[in-house]
Structure 1
Amino acid sequence: MIGAGPSGLTVLKNLLEYGVQCHALEREEEVGGNWNFGKPSSSVYQSTHLISSKRMTAYEEFPMPGAFSSYPSHYEAQQYLCSYARKFDLYSHIQFRTAVNHIARLAQNQWEVHVEGESAPRIYAGVIIANGHHWDPLAPEIDGSFHGEVIHSRQFKFSEQLRDKRVLVIGAGNTGCDIAVEAAIHARSAAISMRRGYHFVPKFIRGKPSDVVGDRLRSWPLPQSLKRWVIRQSIGFALGRPEKYGLPRPDHEIFDTHPIINSQLPYYVGHGRVQVFPDVQRFEGDQVVFADDRREEFDLVILATGYKLSFPFIDLAELNPQNGMPRLFLHAFHPDRDDLFVAGMIQPNSGQWPLTELQAKIIARFIAAQRTNPEVAAWFRALKHSSGLGLPQRREYLDSPRHRLEVDYYQYRETLRKLVARMDGVQPIEKAESGKRKAES
């Protein structure tokens, strides 16, 4: 296992439950990955909170404490992950300060893993990659030169970086909108550059986290079109249309893009605390020139332009690539190999961790089934091979890099749950082998 963040932890827990001999290699000195604030592996900043609620973010088998915020802070998220690792005795199966430089497949069920500082490679029967996808910054090329400071959002950590500065945030995803709000509060002036208009979803609807409301609504026995109409009306009633605040009018339907979970940006735009500009055309000294030919002076530009999907330690050809991106069944299972998995390579429209937990349940059952239930193993092998590129992803998402990992939380969850139920007859390896020894004696 490569990585002991939220995805790696739940995979490790499930593998151990199914008697699979395994351990995780983690380059930091603690679990948590992106939520281990202040470490090189982390991209969060001091005031970061989850954009999914605690109920929709928590692992199904380990609810978050009632005392946690409805939308936990990065500190609470890290506390929770450490508690999860302690609860299921995962620390003894994690090698910390262990960075993986390279892995290569030697043969079926035989992988060579090169660890930093070790002269000889390690040999493993299989590899599970859980290195996250919010760590390798994606920065656009902008014509001209800027005399001020330009940083990626990954380098933004503290509000003090904004003080007494004229700040421009480029990018209107959830991170960009959150940082623009931070700038509205702490900077001398704040602005955001938006390539297009977006729909905004409030974090709360009548005091309830909006994703909890959405989850309940999706369970109603109503036509899909009617459910979406109800959601649109609820959001419209709670927040209103973006253009009413001075934000650009969206050029797409509300469910066509990953939702912007933020009611504060419309508030600060409406109060004149955040200026709104279109796409950036070029830099000219201390000025930024925008697509509508407006120009403005800034001291600090923050690129909230997302992240690359990176696997620097493995040849991408091993991951069945298409157009430079791994193409795996359900974003996790190689269509033709049974000894290589990627956990957490998804971008859902609600919490990710319970979905990765379901991925982990399938990974553990499939590995165990190869030794204890060949019939189930053959069934799943055929499924992932024949449906290797199959994915329960709504077709109406806009075709953009931002949505390359996008999955509909509710549909994806139900798909995984059905697979787990189909594989629930698989026995843990230790129990099956113990039963076999008793029968032979």
Structure 2
Amino acid sequence: MRVAVVGAGAAGLASARHLLAVGMDVELLERGGEVGGVWNYGRPQGRVYRSTHTISSKPLTQFPDLPMPDAYPDYPHHRQVLEYLRRYAERFGLTEHVRFATTVVALEPEERGRSDTGWVVETDDGARARYDAVVIANGHNHEPRRPDWPGEFDGTFIHSADYRTPDLFADRRVLVVGAGNSGCDIAVEAAAVARATALSMRRGYHYVPKYLLGRPVDQVSEWTLDLRLPLPIRRWIARQAVRLGPGLPSRVGLPEPDHALLESHPIVNTLLPYYVRHGRIRPVADVARLEGDRVRLVDDSIEPVDVLVAA
């Protein structure tokens, strides 16, 4: 069986490794020049910033068939993750199956209206090839979604996908829009160097620190799973741990979420509550429109902004 795997990042490499293990004829199609996908800092396909570390700890990040080195920290840096993915590709002989600098531009069933007869993959060099199956592993964070706000902005605008270092924030007024993990990371970096930093949020989130009880937070969560505790008890333990640690969102000065803890992935950030409580990050409402060097929010308040970050 001939299988195409689109993308040679973490998911693509893992898919190819196990397909090869069961005797499949595998070809990885990678538009970049090396394996690793978004972890290639400084490369066109890279989407990490200079300070990026994983938000999942080492045991829950590594593949089960190749542990990360003991010398790696609890939360590896992006350079270490990339090196690990390179070693994974070498260990299982994956690199020889990769076609680099190859972008997939079209995918269609071999017979229109049917998905059980094979697929035709077209690449940017005009070539078309047939495969029995195709694995889409190009990642959901590769292409940024740019908001279509009304109005015009006169300052510096960037998307979080293009952010690398906080240098452009120095002594400027920064508004980060979006309070997911990337938005919170960038707001924290801005708060250390900017004249003023605001974080625009459409809704509330649950925030957990990277460590609870002296251990990485996801390992504590795994411990409660291993004990087979019912979800309400696990949720109560998590809520009490957050309350006694960084504090619940409303106590910290952040909007209260409309969903229960463990109902969706929380924001893993130790420093955001710290900077909010020290007045270095101000939570503000969602964006309504852009007005030159100002941003009008949905509560009709105005934020003077030099740098606008869509996250």
Q: Give the TM-score range, shorter chain.
A: over 0.9
Q: 1:289: how far off? A: 1.4
1:238 paired residue number: 245
For 1:218 and 1:256, how far apart are their aligned partners in 2?
15
Q: Answer yes or no: is the 8 Å Cα contact 2:28–2:97 preserved in 1.
A: yes
2:31 paired residue number: 27
Q: Does 1:3 align with 2:3?
A: no
For 1:103 and 1:234, how far apart are their aligned partners in 2?
48
What letter is aligned with 2:161? Answer: R
For 2:204 and 2:26, how far apart are their aligned partners in 1?
46
Q: Does 1:68 align with 2:72?
A: yes
1:116 pairs with one of 111, 124, 134: 124
For 2:253 and 2:242, how far apart are their aligned partners in 1?
17
- State the superposition RMSD in angstroms: 1.5
What letter is aligned with 2:53? Answer: H
- What are the equivalent positions in structure 2 for 1:354-433 lying under 5 Å apart? none
For 2:203 and 2:224, how far apart are their aligned partners in 1?
29
1:155 paired residue number: 162
Q: 1:245: how far off? A: 2.4
For 2:38 and 2:142, how far apart are their aligned partners in 1?
8
Q: 1:103: how far off? A: 2.1
Q: 1:124: how far off? A: 2.0
1:408 paired residue number: none
TM-score by length of 2: 0.93
String of CA shifts for 1:83-111, please: whole Å, max 9, x gaps.
11111111111111111222222144432
2:302 pairs with one of 295, 302, 306: 295
Task: Report SS of the residue matched to 1:131.
Answer: coil
1:132 pairs with one of 135, 139, 148: 139
Q: Answer yes or no: is the 8 Å Cα contact 1:278–1:292 preserved in 2.
A: yes
The structure with the larger Rg is 1
For 1:215 and 1:278, how far apart are their aligned partners in 2?
34
What letter is aligned with 1:36? Answer: N
Q: Answer yes or no: is the 8 Å Cα contact 2:110–2:130 preserved in 1.
A: no
For 1:124 and 1:194, how far apart are their aligned partners in 2?
44
Q: 1:146: how far off? A: 1.4
Q: 1:243: how far off? A: 2.2
1:284 paired residue number: 291
Q: Answer yes or no: is the 8 Å Cα contact 2:238–2:261 preserved in 1.
A: no
For 1:206 and 1:221, how far apart are their aligned partners in 2?
19
For 1:27 and 1:288, how far apart are their aligned partners in 2?
37
* Higher helix proportion: 1
For 1:14 and 1:160, how far apart are their aligned partners in 2?
42
Q: Answer yes or no: is the 8 Å Cα contact 1:109–1:124 preserved in 2.
A: no
Aligned residues: 303
Structure 1 residue runs of 4 or more that deviate by more than 4 Å after TM superposition: none
- What are the equivalent positions in structure 2 for 1:341-360 lying under 5 Å apart? none
Bigger mean CA offset, 121-130 vs 2-11? 121-130
Q: Does 1:45 align with 2:53?
A: no
2:104 paired residue number: 100
For 2:229 and 2:30, how far apart are their aligned partners in 1?
45
1:271 paired residue number: 278
2:95 paired residue number: 91
For 1:283 and 1:110, how far apart are their aligned partners in 2?
48
For 1:248 and 1:125, how far apart are their aligned partners in 2?
49
Please, which runs of 5 or more residues in structure 1 have no aligned partner?
A: 305-441
Task: Report SS of the residue matched to 1:251.
Answer: coil
Q: Answer yes or no: is the 8 Å Cα contact 2:235–2:261 preserved in 1.
A: no
For 1:255 and 1:126, how far apart are their aligned partners in 2?
35
- What are the equivalent positions in structure 2 for 1:131-280 lying under 5 Å apart? 131-280=138-287
Task: Report SS of the residue matched to 1:186.
Answer: coil
Q: 1:145: how far off? A: 1.5
1:54 paired residue number: 58
String of CA shifts for 1:266-285, please: whole Å, max 9, x gaps.
10011111112111122211
Go from structure 1 to structure 2 and tell me whether the alpha carbon gap of 1:150 and 1:68 turns closer, same or farther (over 3 Å shift): same
Q: Answer yes or no: is the 8 Å Cα contact 1:163–1:187 preserved in 2.
A: yes
For 1:100 and 1:27, how far apart are their aligned partners in 2?
8
For 1:301 and 1:293, how far apart are their aligned partners in 2?
18
Q: Answer yes or no: is the 8 Å Cα contact 2:120–2:128 preserved in 1.
A: yes
Q: Answer yes or no: is the 8 Å Cα contact 1:105–1:111 preserved in 2.
A: yes
For 2:300 and 2:85, how far apart are their aligned partners in 1?
47
Q: Answer yes or no: is the 8 Å Cα contact 1:51–1:71 preserved in 2.
A: yes
For 1:56 and 1:44, how far apart are their aligned partners in 2?
19
What letter is aligned with 1:24? Answer: L
Q: 1:148: how far off? A: 0.8
Please, which runs of 5 or more residues in structure 2 have no aligned partner?
A: none
1:352 paired residue number: none
What letter is aligned with 1:95? Answer: R
String of CA shifts for 1:203-243, please: whole Å, max 9, x gaps.
10122100011001111133322122112112222221122
Q: Answer yes or no: is the 8 Å Cα contact 2:199–2:282 preserved in 1.
A: yes
Task: Report SS of the residue matched to 1:117.
Answer: coil
For 2:146 and 2:205, how far apart are their aligned partners in 1?
21
For 2:186 and 2:309, how far apart are their aligned partners in 1?
9
Percent identity between the aligned chains? 45
Q: 1:70: how far off? A: 0.9
What letter is aligned with 2:124? Answer: E
For 2:118 and 2:150, how far apart are their aligned partners in 1?
47
